[in-house]
Amino acid sequence: MEYYPEDALQLASQNPKFAAKVEDYLADVVLKKSSRSFVNLSGERRNFLMMYVYEHFKLDMCTYGGKAGSNSVTDVYWKEGCRVPEIMAGEVVVLIKKGIMSSNLEENRNLVFEATINIYDIPKGSTVQDVKSHLRTFQNEFYTERRNNPGQARSAQLHFYTLARAKDAHSFLRNSAHQFNTNELIVHKKEIGLNGGLTPVEEDKPKKSRSNATFDDDGFEIVKRP
Protein backbone atom coordinates (compact mmCIF):
# COMPACT_ATOMS: atom_id res chain seq x y z
CA MET A 1 0.00 0.00 0.00
CA GLU A 2 1.53 3.29 -1.13
CA TYR A 3 0.68 6.40 0.86
CA TYR A 4 0.22 9.69 -1.00
CA PRO A 5 -0.32 13.03 0.83
CA GLU A 6 -3.47 15.02 0.14
CA ASP A 7 -1.66 17.76 -1.80
CA ALA A 8 -0.04 15.15 -4.08
CA LEU A 9 -3.39 13.52 -4.85
CA GLN A 10 -4.93 16.94 -5.47
CA LEU A 11 -2.22 17.83 -7.98
CA ALA A 12 -2.57 14.45 -9.71
CA SER A 13 -6.33 14.99 -9.91
CA GLN A 14 -6.08 18.53 -11.31
CA ASN A 15 -3.09 17.83 -13.60
CA PRO A 16 -3.48 14.19 -14.70
CA LYS A 17 -1.29 14.53 -17.83
CA PHE A 18 1.60 16.06 -15.87
CA ALA A 19 1.32 13.41 -13.13
CA ALA A 20 1.22 10.59 -15.69
CA LYS A 21 4.31 11.94 -17.47
CA VAL A 22 6.24 12.20 -14.21
CA GLU A 23 5.28 8.61 -13.34
CA ASP A 24 6.32 7.32 -16.77
CA TYR A 25 9.60 9.26 -16.83
CA LEU A 26 10.64 8.14 -13.35
CA ALA A 27 9.75 4.52 -14.15
CA ASP A 28 12.07 4.81 -17.18
CA VAL A 29 14.88 6.14 -14.98
CA VAL A 30 14.51 3.11 -12.71
CA LEU A 31 14.16 0.45 -15.41
CA LYS A 32 16.78 1.87 -17.80
CA LYS A 33 19.22 3.05 -15.11
CA SER A 34 19.19 6.47 -16.76
CA SER A 35 18.48 10.09 -15.82
CA ARG A 36 15.84 12.67 -16.72
CA SER A 37 15.75 16.48 -16.69
CA PHE A 38 12.74 18.69 -15.90
CA VAL A 39 12.82 22.40 -16.81
CA ASN A 40 11.15 25.35 -15.04
CA LEU A 41 8.93 23.38 -12.65
CA SER A 42 6.72 25.49 -10.40
CA GLY A 43 7.15 25.03 -6.65
CA GLU A 44 4.01 22.87 -6.46
CA ARG A 45 5.12 20.62 -9.32
CA ARG A 46 8.68 20.40 -8.00
CA ASN A 47 7.34 19.31 -4.62
CA PHE A 48 5.27 16.62 -6.36
CA LEU A 49 8.36 15.40 -8.22
CA MET A 50 10.44 15.52 -5.02
CA MET A 51 7.86 13.41 -3.18
CA TYR A 52 7.96 10.79 -5.92
CA VAL A 53 11.76 10.80 -6.26
CA TYR A 54 12.62 10.47 -2.57
CA GLU A 55 9.66 8.66 -1.01
CA HIS A 56 8.35 6.32 -3.72
CA PHE A 57 10.93 5.68 -6.43
CA LYS A 58 13.93 6.05 -4.05
CA LEU A 59 15.91 7.97 -6.67
CA ASP A 60 18.07 11.09 -6.31
CA MET A 61 17.71 14.61 -7.72
CA CYS A 62 19.38 18.00 -7.98
CA THR A 63 17.97 21.43 -8.95
CA TYR A 64 20.12 24.25 -10.32
CA GLY A 65 19.82 27.49 -12.31
CA GLY A 66 16.73 29.68 -12.21
CA LYS A 67 18.61 32.93 -11.51
CA ALA A 68 19.31 35.97 -13.70
CA GLY A 69 16.82 34.84 -16.32
CA SER A 70 18.26 31.32 -16.70
CA ASN A 71 16.07 28.23 -16.74
CA SER A 72 15.62 26.19 -13.60
CA VAL A 73 16.62 22.56 -14.26
CA THR A 74 15.87 19.56 -12.05
CA ASP A 75 17.87 16.43 -12.84
CA VAL A 76 16.71 13.05 -11.56
CA TYR A 77 19.27 10.26 -11.26
CA TRP A 78 19.16 6.48 -10.95
CA LYS A 79 20.30 5.20 -7.55
CA GLU A 80 21.04 1.76 -6.16
CA GLY A 81 17.96 0.38 -4.40
CA CYS A 82 15.45 2.41 -6.43
CA ARG A 83 12.11 0.86 -7.41
CA VAL A 84 8.84 1.42 -9.26
CA PRO A 85 5.86 1.84 -6.88
CA GLU A 86 3.16 -0.82 -7.04
CA ILE A 87 0.46 1.86 -7.40
CA MET A 88 0.78 5.45 -8.62
CA ALA A 89 -0.92 8.62 -7.36
CA GLY A 90 -2.95 8.86 -10.57
CA GLU A 91 -4.30 5.34 -10.01
CA VAL A 92 -5.21 6.18 -6.41
CA VAL A 93 -7.18 9.22 -7.63
CA VAL A 94 -9.15 6.99 -10.02
CA LEU A 95 -9.86 4.45 -7.25
CA ILE A 96 -11.09 7.21 -4.91
CA LYS A 97 -13.37 8.65 -7.62
CA LYS A 98 -14.83 5.18 -8.24
CA GLY A 99 -15.42 4.70 -4.51
CA ILE A 100 -13.10 1.67 -4.41
CA MET A 101 -10.65 3.41 -2.07
CA SER A 102 -11.63 5.58 0.89
CA SER A 103 -11.39 9.34 0.38
CA ASN A 104 -10.60 9.66 4.10
CA LEU A 105 -6.86 10.22 3.70
CA GLU A 106 -6.21 10.36 7.44
CA GLU A 107 -7.84 6.95 7.82
CA ASN A 108 -5.73 5.58 4.95
CA ARG A 109 -2.59 6.98 6.57
CA ASN A 110 -3.34 5.33 9.89
CA LEU A 111 -3.80 1.98 8.14
CA VAL A 112 -0.29 2.21 6.71
CA PHE A 113 1.61 3.88 9.58
CA GLU A 114 1.55 3.22 13.33
CA ALA A 115 3.07 6.51 14.51
CA THR A 116 4.24 9.94 13.33
CA ILE A 117 6.99 12.26 14.51
CA ASN A 118 6.18 15.90 13.77
CA ILE A 119 9.22 18.12 13.24
CA TYR A 120 8.38 21.82 13.67
CA ASP A 121 10.33 24.99 12.86
CA ILE A 122 13.05 23.58 10.62
CA PRO A 123 15.76 26.30 10.85
CA LYS A 124 16.60 28.48 7.88
CA GLY A 125 19.48 26.93 5.96
CA SER A 126 18.36 23.39 6.86
CA THR A 127 16.07 21.17 4.82
CA VAL A 128 13.90 18.09 5.28
CA GLN A 129 16.77 16.13 3.75
CA ASP A 130 18.93 17.23 6.70
CA VAL A 131 16.32 15.75 9.05
CA LYS A 132 16.43 12.46 7.12
CA SER A 133 20.23 12.53 7.14
CA HIS A 134 20.26 12.87 10.92
CA LEU A 135 17.93 9.86 11.15
CA ARG A 136 19.83 7.77 8.59
CA THR A 137 19.86 4.86 11.08
CA PHE A 138 16.10 4.64 10.44
CA GLN A 139 16.35 4.91 6.65
CA ASN A 140 13.42 3.29 4.78
CA GLU A 141 11.49 2.91 8.06
CA PHE A 142 9.48 6.11 7.68
CA TYR A 143 7.79 8.22 5.00
CA THR A 144 8.52 11.93 4.96
CA GLU A 145 5.69 14.37 4.31
CA ARG A 146 6.86 17.96 3.85
CA ARG A 147 4.81 20.87 5.20
CA ASN A 148 5.41 24.30 3.66
CA ASN A 149 2.59 26.57 4.80
CA PRO A 150 2.88 30.21 3.61
CA GLY A 151 3.96 32.52 6.41
CA GLN A 152 4.98 29.65 8.67
CA ALA A 153 8.27 27.91 9.37
CA ARG A 154 8.91 24.75 7.41
CA SER A 155 7.97 21.51 9.09
CA ALA A 156 7.79 17.82 8.29
CA GLN A 157 5.89 14.72 9.33
CA LEU A 158 7.83 11.47 9.59
CA HIS A 159 5.31 8.63 9.30
CA PHE A 160 6.71 5.39 10.75
CA TYR A 161 5.54 1.96 9.64
CA THR A 162 6.06 0.54 13.15
CA LEU A 163 5.48 2.13 16.54
CA ALA A 164 8.59 0.57 18.07
CA ARG A 165 10.91 2.23 15.55
CA ALA A 166 9.07 5.54 15.89
CA LYS A 167 9.75 5.45 19.64
CA ASP A 168 13.41 4.59 19.01
CA ALA A 169 13.72 7.51 16.59
CA HIS A 170 12.01 9.92 18.98
CA SER A 171 14.32 8.81 21.78
CA PHE A 172 17.29 9.36 19.45
CA LEU A 173 16.06 12.90 18.72
CA ARG A 174 15.71 13.62 22.44
CA ASN A 175 19.22 12.41 23.22
CA SER A 176 21.29 13.64 20.28
CA ALA A 177 22.55 17.04 19.17
CA HIS A 178 20.71 18.60 16.21
CA GLN A 179 18.77 21.69 15.09
CA PHE A 180 15.32 20.12 15.08
CA ASN A 181 14.49 20.59 18.74
CA THR A 182 10.74 21.17 18.41
CA ASN A 183 9.23 17.76 17.77
CA GLU A 184 6.56 15.43 19.06
CA LEU A 185 5.57 11.78 18.74
CA ILE A 186 1.96 10.94 17.81
CA VAL A 187 0.82 7.34 18.15
CA HIS A 188 -1.88 6.16 15.73
CA LYS A 189 -2.10 2.64 17.12
CA LYS A 190 -3.52 2.02 20.57
CA GLU A 191 -1.27 -0.23 22.63
CA ILE A 192 -3.13 -2.98 24.43
CA GLY A 193 -1.41 -4.43 27.48
CA LEU A 194 -2.31 -6.19 30.69
CA ASN A 195 -2.52 -3.18 32.97
CA GLY A 196 -5.02 -0.53 31.98
CA GLY A 197 -3.99 -0.58 28.33
CA LEU A 198 -0.26 -0.11 28.94
CA THR A 199 2.29 -2.62 27.76
CA PRO A 200 4.40 -4.24 30.53
CA VAL A 201 7.42 -2.12 29.57
CA GLU A 202 5.44 1.10 29.88
CA GLU A 203 3.88 0.00 33.17
CA ASP A 204 7.35 -0.51 34.66
CA LYS A 205 8.44 3.03 33.81
CA PRO A 206 8.37 5.63 36.61
CA LYS A 207 5.24 7.74 36.34
CA LYS A 208 7.27 10.94 36.13
CA SER A 209 8.63 9.76 32.77
CA ARG A 210 5.12 10.16 31.35
CA SER A 211 4.60 13.66 32.75
CA ASN A 212 5.10 15.19 29.30
CA ALA A 213 2.47 12.96 27.67
CA THR A 214 -1.03 14.08 26.75
CA PHE A 215 -3.90 12.29 25.03
CA ASP A 216 -6.22 13.48 22.29
CA ASP A 217 -9.97 12.82 22.04
CA ASP A 218 -9.40 9.37 20.52
CA GLY A 219 -7.05 8.27 23.28
CA PHE A 220 -3.92 8.52 21.11
CA GLU A 221 -0.83 9.45 23.06
CA ILE A 222 1.14 12.60 22.17
CA VAL A 223 4.61 12.85 23.71
CA LYS A 224 6.24 16.27 23.50
CA ARG A 225 9.96 16.86 23.70
CA PRO A 226 10.79 18.47 27.04
Query: Residue 23: which CATH number?
Result: 3.30.1370
118 and 52: one domain? no
161 and 214: one domain? yes
206 and 121: one domain? yes
126 and 63: one domain? no
**Which pLDDT score is estimated for 223?**
57
Task: Kindly give, in sequence order, each residue whose CB lies less than 8 Å from that of residue 7, ignoring residues fewer than 6 positions away.
Answer: 44, 47
Per the domain annotation, does 179 fall within a domain? yes
Per the domain annotation, does 106 fall within a domain? no
More confident residue, 15 or 179: 15
**Which pLDDT score is estimated for 200?**
38
Give the domain-ending residue among 47, 63, 97: 97
71 and 169: one domain? no
52 and 15: one domain? yes
Contact call for residues 58 and 4 (beta carbons, < 8 A): no
With cut-offs at 50, 70 and 90, classify the pLDDT of residue 31.
Answer: very high
Give the domain-ending residue among 39, 71, 97: 97
pTM for the model: 0.73
Task: Flag whether pLDDT at 218 surpasses 70.
Answer: no
Task: Kindly give, in sequence order, each residue whose CB lies less than 8 Å from that of residue 174, ignoring residues fewer than 6 positions away.
Answer: 225, 226
The length of the chain, given as a count of residues: 226
Give the pLDDT confidence of 9-29 residue by residue, as tens digits. 999 999 999 999 999 999 999
Give the pLDDT confidence of 128-168 residue by residue, as tens digits. 889 999 999 998 899 999 876 655 668 899 999 999 999 99
Amino acid at 192: I
For residues 93, 159, 45 and 104, what is the CA-based torsion angle, rounded to 10 degrees? 30
117 and 192: one domain? yes
**Which pLDDT score is estimated for 180?**
86
132 and 91: one domain? no
Which residues are 33's β-sheet partners?
Answer: none
Give the pLDDT confidence of 64-122 residue by residue, as tens digits. 887 766 688 999 999 999 999 999 999 999 998 998 887 777 777 888 899 999 998 88
Most confident of 61-75, 180-194, 204-218: 61-75
Per the domain annotation, does 105 fall within a domain? no
Count CA atoms within 13 Å of residue 202 on its CB side. 16
More confident residue, 203 or 146: 146
**Which pLDDT score is estimated for 198?**
42
Per the domain annotation, does 123 fall within a domain? yes
Task: Flag whether pLDDT at 213 surpasses 90.
Answer: no
219 and 128: one domain? yes
Say how many domains are in the chain.
Answer: 2
123 and 158: one domain? yes
119 and 219: one domain? yes
Q: Give the DSSP per-residue string, the chain.
A: -----HHHHHHHHH-HHHHHHHHHHHHHHHHHT-EEEEES--HHHHHHHHHIIIIIS--EEEEEE-STTPPEEEEEE--TT----SS-HHHHHHHHHTTSS-S-HHHHHHHH-SEEEEE--PPTT--HHHHHHHTGGGTTSEEEEEE--TTS--EEEEEESSHHHHHHHHHHHHTS--S---EEEEE-S----SBTTB-HHHHHS-GGGGTTEEE-TT--EEEE--
More confident residue, 38 or 212: 38
Average pLDDT of the residues in 32-46 = 92
Q: Which domain holds residue 152?
A: 113-224
CATH number of the structural domain spanning residue 141: 3.30.70.330
Give the domain-ending residue among 97, 124, 157: 97
